[in-house]
Amino acid sequence: GNKSIQAKLVLLGDMGTGKTSLVLRFVKGQFFDFQESTIGAAFFTQILSLNEATVKFDIWDTAGQERYHSLAPMYYRGAAAALVVYDISSMDSFVRAKKWVQELQRQGNPTLVMMLVANKADLETKREVATEEGERYAQENGLLFIETSAKTAQNVNELFYEIGNFFVRS
């Protein structure tokens, strides 16, 4: 039969960048304009059927508020993939995303797949981080890169398909 893969995935990034919204869009097809801030972390699962395999994602959605920072290693330890999320309308969140990448490079496992996720792509008029800036940082650091909108669903399924396919091929 078909190959079955289980993958632990963690979302990291500044508060309010849309981590929970991306997961809810992917898992439930829902989006809320007033999404509550995550406390600690939240756990979701989703199964993705690809041509050559079925991927079961165990998804840890961490809280972006600084006071929860010390909990993060519990969630990224043993993860197969990390999604580092920033908000294209916030340069601060991009700076914070780079800090997460550095932390993962220092302490994460060497086989961890990292993806830089530029969320809120629908907020084009408020954009502070150029697409090329995110892309260049990703390329220089060996990260996958994608621009998404949890609000419009732009590239959200594509994001998880890309991660899923990465595991199928490796």
- Which residue's CB is nearer to ligand GTP, number 32 or number 139? 32
Shortest distance, CB of residue 154 to ligand GTP, whole angstroms?
8
CB 11 within 8 A of CB 19: yes
- Which residue's CB is nearer to ligand GTP, number 23 or number 81? 23
Q: How far apart are CA 44 and CA 51, in angstroms?
A: 23
Using the Cα atoms of residue 120, residue 122, residue 126 and residue 131 in order, give the sign of their dihedral: positive
Q: How far apart are the first and last CA of the chain?
A: 19
- Which residue's CB is nearer to ligand GTP, number 65 or number 141? 65
- Which residue's CB is nearer to ligand GTP, number 72 or number 167? 72
Rg (CA), the chain: 15
Shortest distance, CB of residue 169 to ligand GTP, whole angstroms?
28
- Which residue's CB is nearer to ligand GTP, number 18 or number 134? 18
Q: How far apart are CA 123 and CA 21, in angstroms?
A: 15
Shortest distance, CB of residue 51 to ligand GTP, whole angstroms?
28
Nearest 5 degrees, angle CA 88-CA 89-CA 92? 90
Closest-approach residue to ligand GTP (CB)? 64
Q: How far apart are CA 81 and CA 59, in angstroms?
A: 10
Residues that bind ligand GTP (CB under 6 A): 13, 15-21, 32-35, 37-38, 63-65, 119-120, 122-123, 149-151
Contacts of 142 (CB under 8 A, 6+ apart): 114
Shortest distance, CB of residue 95 to ligand GTP, whole angstroms?
15
Shortest distance, CB of residue 110 to ligand GTP, whole angstroms?
27
